[in-house]
Structure 1
Amino acid sequence: MGSAKSNNRLLQGIGASPGITIGQVRITDRSRVVVIEERITAGEVPAEIARFKAALAKAKDELLQVKDDLAARRGPEHLYVLDTHLLILDDSMLTRETVAFIEQELVNAEAALKRTLARFKEFFAGIEDEYLRERSGDVEIVVERVLRHMVGQDQESLTDVTVEGKTIIAAHDLSPADILQIDKESVIGFVTDLGGKTSHSAILARALEIPAVVGLERITGELATGDTIIIDGTTGIVVINPDQETFRDYLKRKQHYEYLERELQKYRDLPAETTDGFRMQLKGNVEFPEEIPSLKGHGGEGVGLYRTEILFFNCPVPPDEETQYNAYATMVRAMAPHPVTIRTLDVGGDKFVADLNLADELNPALGVRAIRLSLRRPDIFTVQLRAILRASALGKVRMFFPMISGVAEIRTVKALLEEAKAELRREGTAFDEAIEIGIMIEIPSAVIIADLLAREVDFFSVGTNDLIQYSLAIDRTNEHLSDLYEPLHPAVLRSLKMVVDAAHAAGIDACICGEMAGEPEFLPILLGLGFDELSMNAISIPRVKKILRRCNKAEAEQLVARALTFSTAQEVLSFLQSEIAAHYADSFD
């Protein structure tokens, strides 16, 4: 039945975690602390610094307590994301900048910390990669925790949300700690003013399969505790106090969605195989061990992309070998017996790790980043190589290297890898002597010489996001150019074909770990091109597998041969849509 005080307002946000859910709202205070800047005297500086450091210590103690409580309730595999927030609290740059503002600007501790946060946010705003740009939210959440201790504001815990009915949490923002504390028996979804699809809270919501819509900007101002709302985590739509007709409509959609999900789960343990017997590996892109249960639960056959950037996030110095080894070992053990493919550091260097001290770049997308950064800092790179090698003794591990542009680069990488292996042998440290190595194909030069690069490695993994961006000279984060970001552009399709053909001619696998891999409508194209492995978000795997099991590889190859004859992306898209309607329509419901 619809809400008694129906007004049927619709808001559009960002679908962060799929699913449709209907319930009553509970407003949770996660609003930002209002800070009033006050001038202080030189004599008051020591007291303000002490107050700041005391709040920092309290925030750390609080987070450690949350971690202990969660370890008892959920087990240690769910805690890695909290370690990133503890690292931020330990960050010497956070402390140093805030203390400097207090001493030099003679402002109160709250204002000094806010200024430090503004500096962090300014840096992150300049990062081209959306995934890494979202990490600024972690800093903001940690700073807010410290500020609350400064001003004496208690923060309610979501562990207290235990009600007879089903509750949807509404908040300005939610931290990863908040998400992990949610009792799924009581909380059936959440909506927030802030957030993006690649924030850690969104990642955890998907991993825990809690429907969520974020980035609604003003949702907390539109709601009152007790309101009935509908959230559609797939489309990002939120309906406030729905009328009876809308309620019934979404109830049917919810039942249909849940039916489809149950049907898709039937594919979880079935082989990812076409009707004519072609076997494709379907794996997951992950960052935290918390994502592994969801990946296994959706039928993932391993990790096709393990992003290691979070280990280097906002650190005063790069993480040491033991820290990295423990992280990789946790992931390998959690994914066993399936393989884990670890990508080495794939970031620009400026300020991401304070110790790097690289100059500002006018065009960081074309600057010192990814493998270029690693080769300029072999001291940092070798530590990562050693840690990955050590983890390979625990299970099936592959490693691959981002932004390779030529043969000379990969040979230099291989030389450093051999040095790391030799060191471990001398120390008597175990590792997989036959560990496979690969490269990301994401820039045009790598496509053009793919045949030469294929002789040097054991597999290719195509990063379609960057390959499309670099091939078409399109900044995919620029909303004014979004219509020109075309995965089906003939130049992109020809590039993908060149990569697969070169890989197979050399007897190695060709994989994709970009967004194209998880888009079901692209599957006939990727299958026809001959890719051996697709790596994607865990929740996309069952749907892709369902479609794959109804496809015929020979027919897909014919489809690609036709698609390659067209001159524009729109022509390819129209043709693909007509083929899907004619042959695969029932698979795309």
Structure 2
Amino acid sequence: MIVLNGKGVFGGVAIGKLSLYQKQQHQIKRYHVEDADAEIARFEEAKKGTLVQLQELYNKALKEVGEANAAIFEVHQMMVEDLDYIESIINMINTQNVNAEYAVATTGDNFAEMFASMDDAYMKERSADVKDISERIISVLSNATKSTVDSDEPVIILAEDLAPSETVQLDKDKVLAFVTKFGSSNSHTAILARTMNIPALISVDVDLTEELNGRMAIADGFTGTVYLDPDEETLKKMQEKRAKDLEKKELLLQLKGKENVTLDGKSINIYANIGNVSDVANVLQNDAGGVGLFRSEFLYLETTDYPTEEEQFQSYKAVAERMAGKKVIIRTLDIGADKQVDYFNMDKEENPALGYRAIRICLDRIDIFKTQLRALYRASAYGKISIMFPMIISVEEVREIKKIVEEVKAELRDLGIPFDDCELGIMIETPAAVMVSDLLAKEVEFFSIGTNDLTQYTLAIDRQNPKLDKIYNPHHTAVLRMIKMVADNAHANGIWMGICGELGADLELTETFLAMGIDELSVSPSLILGLRKKVRETNVDAVKDALLDRLK
């Protein structure tokens, strides 16, 4: 038996044969073409075929992993039609009289290298995307067959890395687990694997050779371990672990309709994070108490122009109505940093995570902000909507926001448009907001902590940089102390406080959050029942003192 170590990005145990994922191998040769116009026409035809394929991938992803995760294929379609990218290819064919395959490959490599050298984490991710679309165009040009899993039975996929398009193309019924030699836990493929509920491991120390094909293996997504040719003892142990995991998932279904109450009678709200209207079905299916975070920026990311007030209103209204009186907390536009929107025409920044983003854009481009606020308040007449503002660093910002909110409400009153008074809250995701949370609590009705950004800013670590994964520690005492400080300041001023970042779903911290008196945890819909189970098994009084002493 050989034991290979990596990093698990989605839990679960898979037992089966390995299947080496064979990517298409394009041997690109440069050759002279006599008719450059004909070669450009050939490229344009391949571009059209690529766009058709990407639309098919989007439709497939939409059904299998939801609108938010399918959005990457809309990004790919936009990249295929990027004028700089197209002009570079056409110019190379024209000036050098080379074949389209060579022009696409060279341009793809140049653009990928350019993106990879950028400091911005979002732009670094685009490096892999531009390689993906370039390879797809070349495949269409050369009439290559698609990469597939060559097996009639479900297998553990073994690959160097998987692009989002490759992940979605695979037949879910034939995939037991993903195991890759490279990759990041924050990559689109890792996110897709989690959404598809398939065990996934990355950064596995393995030499990808043909002799691995068809060998028996076990992939443990909980520990990030692969057992190659497992012995009988290990096989038995892992079969028991898999059975317990499946049994646990079945038992969780019995928790539907149960309260989120600890053994000693303390209750907490468990809500869901969503990105689109279509996600509401998962929220209801998993019995969430409400929506703790509706990421409204996806309405902007999925279009080629600013969404109108009416378009936004219809989306917010649909969510509010479908949640049937349950609370829906909608975060205002949060773009910038790793979420760029071309039509906003924002300047390139050396450090966008610390730059022009979120509420800073809204307070600068007030027309855009007011359009969204009008849509939100109009939708409030159809359900229980709360509004949350991201990336706050000062009391002055909150007061400016409240002034604009009052202007919007006055406009709606003058027009005779009905609306309800929405609960207003802010995201606490900067150390500055933590340190003045006692003052901020006097201005709003709730706090919600974005632990992803708060951890990143507190530790001064780019959370999307795989080289820093080993020292990126969201359990850091500094982060936990900050969360407790925010909770204490919120409760001292009579407002409630929740967590909507990744840590909200971290079961190792559930007892700590309950001991702090956190009022609400908002997580991915699929994690709600597991979190409810943990809450119902906890006796807060029995562990409170010991847990909080660690933070002193």
Normalising by the residue count of structure 2, what TM-score does the alignment of the two structures yield? Answer: 0.82
User: Among 52, 63, 73, which residue is 1:85 paired with?
Assistant: 73
8 Å contact from structure 2 (residues 293, 328) kept in 1: yes
User: For residue 102 of structure 1, what is the aligned residue in structure 2?
Assistant: 90
SS at match of 2:177: strand
Paired with 1:446 and 1:248, the residues of 2 have a C-alpha distance of: 51
User: For residue 24 of structure 1, what is the aligned residue in structure 2?
Assistant: 17
1:17-68 CA distances to partner (integer Å, 9 max, x unpaired)?
A: 2210112344444446454566778x61x44443333222112223434566
User: For residue 494 of structure 2, what is the aligned residue in structure 1?
Assistant: 507
Paired with 1:516 and 1:47, the residues of 2 have a C-alpha distance of: 55
Letter in 2 for 1:398: S
User: For residue 254 of structure 1, what is the aligned residue in structure 2?
Assistant: 242
Letter in 1 for 2:229: N
User: For residue 257 of structure 2, what is the aligned residue in structure 1?
Assistant: 269
User: For residue 392 of structure 2, what is the aligned residue in structure 1?
Assistant: 404
Letter in 2 for 1:238: V
Unmatched segments (≥5 aa) in structure 2: none
Unmatched segments (≥5 aa) in structure 1: 1-7, 566-589
* Residues 1:53 and 2:49 aligned together: no
Letter in 1 for 2:436: I
1:184–1:66 Cα change, 3 Å = closer
SS at match of 1:269: coil
Letter in 1 for 2:332: T
User: For residue 420 of structure 2, what is the aligned residue in structure 1?
Assistant: 433
What is the CA-CA distance between 1:186 and the residue it aligns to? 4.3
8 Å contact from structure 1 (residues 302, 339) kept in 2: yes
User: For residue 186 of structure 2, what is the aligned residue in structure 1?
Assistant: 198
What is the CA-CA distance between 1:512 and the residue it aligns to? 1.1
Write out aligned runs for 1:458-473 (5 A). Answer: 458-473=445-460
8 Å contact from structure 1 (residues 192, 220) kept in 2: no
Letter in 2 for 1:119: F
User: For residue 188 of structure 1, what is the aligned residue in structure 2?
Assistant: 176
User: For residue 53 of structure 2, what is the aligned residue in structure 1?
Assistant: 62
User: Among 119, 124, 128, which residue is 2:111 paired with?
Assistant: 119
User: For residue 437 of structure 2, what is the aligned residue in structure 1?
Assistant: 450
1:547–1:345 Cα change, 3 Å = same
Paired with 2:332 and 2:377, the residues of 1 have a C-alpha distance of: 12
User: Among 511, 520, 528, which residue is 1:533 paired with?
Assistant: 520
8 Å contact from structure 2 (residues 111, 127) kept in 1: no
1:65–1:103 Cα change, 3 Å = same
8 Å contact from structure 2 (residues 58, 74) kept in 1: no
* Residues 1:306 and 2:298 aligned together: no
Letter in 1 for 2:292: G
8 Å contact from structure 1 (residues 528, 559) kept in 2: no
User: Among 479, 490, 506, which residue is 1:519 paired with?
Assistant: 506
1:294–1:247 Cα change, 3 Å = farther
What is the CA-CA distance between 1:271 and the residue it aligns to? 1.3
Relative to structure 2, which stretch is displaced further, 305-314 or 435-444?
305-314
1:193–1:482 Cα change, 3 Å = closer
8 Å contact from structure 1 (residues 88, 314) kept in 2: no
1:340–1:238 Cα change, 3 Å = farther
Letter in 2 for 1:524: E
Write out aligned runs for 1:7-46 (5 A). Answer: 8-31=1-24, 33-36=26-29, 44=36, 46=37
Paired with 2:60 and 2:474, the residues of 1 have a C-alpha distance of: 45
Identity %: 36
User: For residue 583 of structure 1, what is the aligned residue in structure 2?
Assistant: none
Paired with 1:351 and 1:466, the residues of 2 have a C-alpha distance of: 13
Paired with 2:452 and 2:334, the residues of 1 have a C-alpha distance of: 14
8 Å contact from structure 2 (residues 273, 294) kept in 1: yes
Relative to structure 2, which stretch is displaced further, 310-319 or 94-103?
310-319
Write out aligned runs for 1:143-182 (5 A). Answer: 143-155=134-146, 163=152, 165-171=153-159, 173-174=161-162, 179=167
What is the CA-CA distance between 1:519 and the residue it aligns to? 1.9
1:291-326 CA distances to partner (integer Å, 9 max, x unpaired)?
A: 656555554333323334455559765555566556
Paired with 1:347 and 1:399, the residues of 2 have a C-alpha distance of: 16
8 Å contact from structure 1 (residues 31, 171) kept in 2: no
What is the CA-CA distance between 1:441 and the residue it aligns to? 0.9
What is the CA-CA distance between 1:450 and the residue it aligns to? 1.6
Aligned residues: 548
Paired with 1:229 and 1:522, the residues of 2 have a C-alpha distance of: 32
What is the CA-CA distance between 1:169 and the residue it aligns to? 3.8
SS at match of 2:330: strand
SS at match of 2:454: helix
Paired with 1:479 and 1:419, the residues of 2 have a C-alpha distance of: 45
1:425–1:168 Cα change, 3 Å = farther
1:394-424 CA distances to partner (integer Å, 9 max, x unpaired)?
A: 5443332221011221232334444455556
Paired with 2:344 and 2:337, the residues of 1 have a C-alpha distance of: 6
Write out aligned runs for 1:296-335 (5 A). Answer: 296-313=284-301, 317-319=305-307, 321=309
Letter in 1 for 2:245: Y
User: For residue 533 of structure 2, what is the aligned residue in structure 1?
Assistant: 546
SS at match of 1:520: coil
SS at match of 2:219: strand
Paired with 1:256 and 1:20, the residues of 2 have a C-alpha distance of: 10
8 Å contact from structure 2 (residues 61, 69) kept in 1: no
Letter in 1 for 2:454: L
1:20–1:12 Cα change, 3 Å = same
8 Å contact from structure 1 (residues 137, 199) kept in 2: no
Write out aligned runs for 1:286-297 (5 A). Answer: 286-287=274-275, 296-297=284-285
8 Å contact from structure 1 (residues 303, 535) kept in 2: yes
1:79–1:39 Cα change, 3 Å = farther
1:544–1:82 Cα change, 3 Å = closer
1:505–1:187 Cα change, 3 Å = same
User: Among 366, 376, 381, which residue is 2:369 paired with?
Assistant: 381
SS at match of 1:544: helix
User: For residue 585 of structure 1, what is the aligned residue in structure 2?
Assistant: none
Q: How well do the aligned residues superpose, as a CA RMSD in angstroms?
A: 4.0
Normalising by the residue count of structure 1, what TM-score does the alignment of the two structures yield? Answer: 0.78
8 Å contact from structure 2 (residues 68, 275) kept in 1: no
SS at match of 1:521: coil
8 Å contact from structure 1 (residues 338, 396) kept in 2: yes
